[in-house]
Amino acid sequence: MSRNMGWSRLIMLISLSLCLIPLLSACQTIKLSDKAGAGSTGTTSSGQSGGAAQTSTDVSGPWQISYEVNQEPRSAHLNLVQTGNTFEGTGTDDHDGQNFVVSKGVITGNHISFHKRYHVDENPNLPPIVYQGSFEMAKTETYSGPYMSGTYNLAKAGTNIGGKWDGQKEGAATSSAQAPVENPPPQPVNTGKAPHLSGKWDAGYEFEFKTVHSSIYLEQDGPKLVGHGIDKNSKETFSLQGNYKFPDIRFVLKYNAVKGPKGKSKPERKLEFRGTVSVVNEAEYQGPRLEGKTNGGGAWMAEIVK
């Protein structure tokens, strides 16, 4: 990153391309929703504002799914094949590479449901994980395309285990807000290949209505990302794990517990980042740029330090 750029420009770029305080604005965000099955504010596949997607909507293709287990974010990639208003498929969890099958998928109007099952061949009697939710065609600052969200539930040993989930289709269009005329949006460089992400990055993200500045050290090994870093504001340190399939990127920061005087200690916590990778060519900066949303709805962006 050009040292002349400074953090003031980084925050300006975030402000131009994304809505920094979604809770106080009219911007729609793609995240784990507060209420499963909440109505769409985007457009449906029929082109009408709001309302339900039509049964004829085809969910076939690759999807990136985020879900929470004990309030910790996880993700998976799956591929669906639809016939009529039913679908099935296969998938893989990103954190451990475990395979699963998707069965009994049904989409009716804007309602979607399916079963997720592990170890089908070894133990066909294992109970399925039942996913329920809503389907819509979303249009936001950072994503335009099919989007689904809801809750999942697993009945096991007399107890119910569940949480929230959401998903967006891989390869769907991404977009960003228009910048003022005097500050035109960055122009992508069509290199034809995915940039390698290993290196030091300057990053900024919105958290609890404040902008957090961080230094992140990334190491890429194929689609896997690992790393560590520090928040410049609070000096909190974190480790990083994630996945990268150009142009989509997803990673989780795991903040270490901080011990301090009573009332000032902080427990271990995690924050998920999901977004896209682009290559830009600007007067102040040329190179890869990462940007998107956290699972808390805040905007984030990072540029590599040269």
pLDDT of 1-54, one tens digit each? 444 444 444 444 444 443 333 332 333 333 333 333 333 344 433 333 344 334
Decide if 74 is inside a domain.
Answer: yes
Q: CB under 8 Å to 97, separation ≥6 — which residues?
A: none
Structure tokens at 269: 């916590």
pLDDT of residue 287: 92
Q: CB under 8 Å to 203, separation ≥6 — which residues?
A: 213, 214, 215, 216, 229, 290, 300, 301, 302
Indicate if 54 and 86 belong to the same structural domain.
yes
Indicate if 158 and 187 belong to the same structural domain.
no
Q: If pLDDT is split at 50, 70 and 90, which confidence band does 169 have?
A: confident
Q: Within its chain, how far is the Cα of 271 from the centroid?
A: 11
CA distance 173 to 42: 14
Structure tokens at 304: 């590599």
Indicate if 165 and 195 belong to the same structural domain.
no
- Count of residues for the chain? 306
Decide if 257 is inside a domain.
Answer: yes
Structure tokens at 167: 């998903």
Helix (H/G/I), strand (E/B), else coil: 12: helix
The answer to whether the beta carbons of residues 27 and 15 sit under 8 Å apart is no
Name residue 133's beta-bridge partners. 112, 150
Indicate if 146 and 186 belong to the same structural domain.
no
Please name which of 289, 298, 296 lies closest in space to residue 13, comparing C-alpha atoms. 289
* Residue 87 confidence (pLDDT) above 90: yes
Q: How many domains does the chain have?
A: 2
pLDDT of residue 192: 56
Which of these ranges, 4-18, 55-69, 181-195, has the smallest mean pLDDT?
Answer: 4-18
Indicate if 12 and 40 belong to the same structural domain.
no
Decide if 160 is inside a domain.
Answer: yes
Decide if 23 is inside a domain.
Answer: no
Domain final residue pick, 169, 196, 227 = 169
DSSP structure string for 155-185: EETTEEEEEEEEEEETT-B---PPPPTTSPP
* Residue 158 confidence (pLDDT) above 80: no
Decide if 99 is inside a domain.
Answer: yes
CA distance 54 to 261: 56
The answer to whether the beta carbons of residues 192 and 284 sit under 8 Å apart is no
Indicate if 133 and 216 belong to the same structural domain.
no
Decide if 86 is inside a domain.
Answer: yes
Decide if 24 is inside a domain.
Answer: no
Indicate if 132 and 214 belong to the same structural domain.
no
Give me the domain span that covers residue 249.
Answer: 6-18+182-304
Q: Are β-strands 199-207 and 210-221 bridged in parallel, bridged antiparallel, or unpaired? A: antiparallel
Q: If pLDDT is split at 50, 70 and 90, which confidence band does 90 have?
A: very high
Domain final residue pick, 148, 169, 190 = 169
Helix (H) or strand (E) holding 11: helix 6-17
CATH number of the domain residue 132 falls in: 2.40.128.120
Indicate if 160 and 192 belong to the same structural domain.
no
Indicate if 148 and 47 belong to the same structural domain.
yes
Which of these ranges, 5-14, 41-50, 107-116, 154-163, has the smallest mean pLDDT?
Answer: 41-50
Structure tokens at 228: 């560590």
Q: If pLDDT is split at 50, 70 and 90, which confidence band does 276 have?
A: very high
Mean pLDDT of the chain: 76
The pLDDT tens digits for 119-136 are 777 777 788 999 999 998
Indicate if 163 and 186 belong to the same structural domain.
no
Decide if 177 is inside a domain.
Answer: no
Indicate if 79 and 208 belong to the same structural domain.
no
Question: Average pLDDT, stretch 267-277?
Answer: 90
Domain final residue pick, 169, 197, 214 = 169
DSSP structure string for 242-265: EEEETTEEEEEEEEPPB--STTT-
For the entire predicted model, the pTM comes to 0.48
Indicate if 45 and 91 belong to the same structural domain.
yes
The answer to whether the beta carbons of residues 262 and 243 sit under 8 Å apart is no
